[in-house]
Structure 1
Amino acid sequence: MDYGFWSAVTQYYQLIETAFSYEHGYRVGVSIAIFLFFWLFRNKFTKYILYLLIKICNTKATTNEYLITAFRCPLVNTIVALGTYLALRNIFPLAYDRLLDQLLRSFIVLFMAHGIHRLVKLYGNNVEELGNLLDLNVDKILIPFFSKMIRFLILALAFVTICSNWGYDINGFIAGLGLGGLAFALAAKDLLANIFSGMVIIADRPFSIGDWIKTSDLEGTIEDINFRSTKIRTFEHALVTVPNSNLINAPIINFTKREMRRITFNLGVTYDTPSQALKKCIEKIQHMLVQHPSIDNKTIFVKFDSFGENGLHIFMYFFTKTTVWEEYLNIKQDVNFQILKILEEENVSIAFPRTSHYFETPLQIIDPAQSILTKK
């Protein structure tokens, strides 16, 4: 018992003696200096590394901006981690070198995966810039979908690499994922149905991001398409999330894909309109529509259609050359004003709903003064 006590005291004394020795103090001082050097000059090192990266890649200004935005923070963290690694390796015994090497490699993989993940996200949010980089006409519906898939793969590869670095058996992990995936597939068949429906939407491309669509349940503009659902912004500015499996089985009208927009209505004029005046109005309206620069003159119908309850009906059917909503409304307004002008030139009045009452016996008008005298 006494021997164990004095042995512990001796070891404790040796530990204190080592900790306060000149050699150990010197190594601690050098380690602190190494760490402070990397900490103070981390931004300088990052700036030079990014400069060399941009010079090697020789890319455009926007790409350079994306590289700086994506990799600045990961590079700063990597430099600090490297300084910490060198400082700790200078202090700790050789037995800890393997552990420190594994920590450094894990942090480098993690930080670089973070930078690549941010770069992919930046390009996924800017489809036009990605098209300029690849010199391709990319589809807005494909990029967000594949951007999310690539980012998921980056994180998965980083996780697998870090696990391999620490000696874990990845094959067993993958086999476990296979069995777990089978159980997950049975439990989440609706989720998988939505995912496969999303793939069908991407392959078939019935609509793209920004398109104006209409289904039996709702109408609005496509804002986002992901693995499980599609987000639609209605004209009331409400955001509706629709499962992909519902969309793939529903009839979809894509108004954005049309090349023209239709205008059709019945114009009613009064029954006292002379036939010649009615005929001239029809001819002038037809001529006006044919000459209008914003009206497609391939399909124009202006016809005396029917005898309505309140007037004579002129049927009009034509198309505008634009599909933009505001431009369409402006063209429609201009056409309406020109139709009013034609009717005024021909002295033709627009019919409006009215009701006529007929009495079997004529109405008698009674003088109020005479009625009072009669009562007296």
Structure 2
Amino acid sequence: MSMQIHPQLQAVLNQPFWNNTGMDYAVAIAIFLSSIILLLLLKKYIITRLQKLAKKTKTEIDDMVIDFFQGIRWQFYAFIGLYIAIMTLTLPPVVGTIMKWMLVIAVGYYAAVAAAKVVDCIVSRRAEAAKRENVADDASAILIIGKLAKVGIFILAFLLILSNLGVNINSLIAGLGIGGIAVAFALQSILEDLFSSFSIYFDKPFKPGDFIIVGSDTGVVRHIGLKTTRLQTLQGQELVISNKELTSSRINNFKKMEERRVVFAIGVEYSTSSAKLKSIPQIIRDIIKEIKGTRLDRVHFKAFGDFSLNFEVVYYVLDSDYIKYMDIQQDINLKIRERFEKARIVMAFPTQTIHLAK
């Protein structure tokens, strides 16, 4: 049984309009609607499959893909359906050109969004790891680097879109280069500090909590910013140093010191007998061996001083903590004083003997 079409409807379907019949437009509309429905169903199917897969895996990649597909708006699918439908019609070339331009823009935008999602995933994982290690400044630096990377991605996507639209981007890039040079000269000191902060982050010569010496300044690192680093000095005040100065200076980082080498001297009177002089190194060896967290290097009768017989002691404190070192040195000093008193060894102090000739 053949389907009968009303004569008036048949006339409309056969009526040419802009080089296409009514039937062509009807088919295009059907393709448009069916394309939208199919694409939305495909989106739902992909998301459902990925969600089931995400429950079985611990990786964040599937979650990132799900987030990307959920972020694609229905207008994009409508445009794809419209593009497919229009391609079936005979329209002026300008319409096809405009649709291709819009397709390039849409695809370029969502490609940049997908790349930005990847950057967000990497940055969030690194930032969370830094926070777990209680390095908040590292987390801040990672987030800033991520934002700069995303800006770079969208700028690159913009240039690629212009290139695919037939725009000569060489002159545009040259113009941006000249403008960038002018901006770089105007912001030279700020950019130097900015890149120095990246150098500090990647090279890690120090981190918050480290005790450092920069030139004549000493202090504990409290914050590493994009332009400056803040130290808390031993006197208690905050010292702000530019990152450029830090990266161009020699830095002593005592927090990275695994053990501390200590050298000190002891002087006894010239009247001390040779037997007592020979016993002094053993006395000091015994004292240092008794103290935990130390390792003796050497004890020697070093020199004849102006008013004393000088011994040099070298030992190691097996810890970088300054307070612990001072506690150990105090303990050594008190025990040396105690043992010398028992052995009747007298420590020297500055004296002068004047001989008068008659």
**What is the aligned counterpart of 1:111 among 110, 113, 116?**
113
Per the alignment, in what secondary structure is the counterpart of residue 320 of structure 1? strand
Per the alignment, in what secondary structure is the counterpart of residue 324 of structure 1? coil
Looking at structure 1, the residues matched to 293 and 63 of structure 2 have their Cα atoms a distance apart, in angstroms, of 46
Distance 1:218 1:344, change over 3 A: closer
1:221 aligned onto 2:227: no
Distance 1:337 1:187, change over 3 A: closer
CA contact (8 A) 2:233 2:239 kept: no
Give, as a single letter, the amino acid of the residue that structure 1 aligns with 2:163. Answer: S
Give, as a single letter, the amino acid of the residue that structure 1 aligns with 2:70. Answer: V
Residue 316 of structure 2 aligns with which residue? 320
Per the alignment, in what secondary structure is the counterpart of residue 121 of structure 1? helix
CA contact (8 A) 1:305 1:315 kept: no
CA contact (8 A) 2:232 2:239 kept: yes
**What is the aligned counterpart of 2:76 among 79, 85, 88?**
85
CA contact (8 A) 1:125 1:144 kept: yes
Looking at structure 1, the residues matched to 198 and 79 of structure 2 have their Cα atoms a distance apart, in angstroms, of 50
Per the alignment, in what secondary structure is the counterpart of residue 207 of structure 1? coil
Q: After TM superposition, list the pairs within 5 Å mapping 1:252-263 onto structure 2.
A: 252-256=251-255, 258=257, 260-263=259-262
**Aligned residue pairs: how many?**
293
CA contact (8 A) 1:117 1:154 kept: no
More moved, 286-295 vs 230-239: 230-239
Give, as a single letter, the amino acid of the residue that structure 2 aligns with 1:324. Answer: S
Distance 1:257 1:286, change over 3 A: same
Q: After TM superposition, list the pairs within 5 Å mapping 1:118-137 onto structure 2.
A: 118-122=120-124, 125=127
Deviation at residue 314 of structure 1 after TM alignment: 9.9
**When the two structures are superposed, what TM-score results if normalisation uses the length of structure 2?**
0.55
Q: After TM superposition, list the pairs within 5 Å mapping 1:191-340 onto structure 2.
A: 191-194=190-193, 207-209=205-207, 212-215=211-214, 216-221=216-221, 224=224, 229=227, 231-234=229-232, 242-256=241-255, 258=257, 260-263=259-262, 283-290=282-289, 292=291, 294-300=293-299, 318-325=314-321, 329-330=323-324, 332-333=326-327, 336-337=330-331, 340=334
Q: After TM superposition, list the pairs within 5 Å mapping 1:8-47 onto structure 2.
A: 33-34=37-38, 37=41, 43-47=47-51
CA contact (8 A) 2:281 2:300 kept: no
Residue 135 of structure 1 aligns with which residue? none
Deviation at residue 109 of structure 1 after TM alignment: 1.3
Unmatched runs of 5 consecutive residues or more in structure 2: 1-21, 87-94, 131-137, 343-358
Give, as a single letter, the amino acid of the residue that structure 1 aligns with 2:78. Answer: A
Percent identity over the alignment? 20
Distance 1:303 1:293, change over 3 A: farther
Q: After TM superposition, list the pairs within 5 Å mapping 1:164-183 onto structure 2.
A: 164-183=163-182
Unmatched runs of 5 consecutive residues or more in structure 1: 1-17, 55-60, 129-139, 349-376
**When the two structures are superposed, what TM-score results if normalisation uses the length of structure 1?**
0.53
Distance 1:100 1:293, change over 3 A: same
Looking at structure 2, the residues matched to 111 and 171 of structure 1 have their Cα atoms a distance apart, in angstroms, of 25
Looking at structure 1, the residues matched to 55 and 169 of structure 2 have their Cα atoms a distance apart, in angstroms, of 37
Give, as a single letter, the amino acid of the residue that structure 1 aligns with 2:252. Answer: I
Please give the per-residue CA displacement for 1:85-110, whole angstroms capped at 9, x wherever unaligned: 33344467615743552343033212
Deviation at residue 184 of structure 1 after TM alignment: 1.9
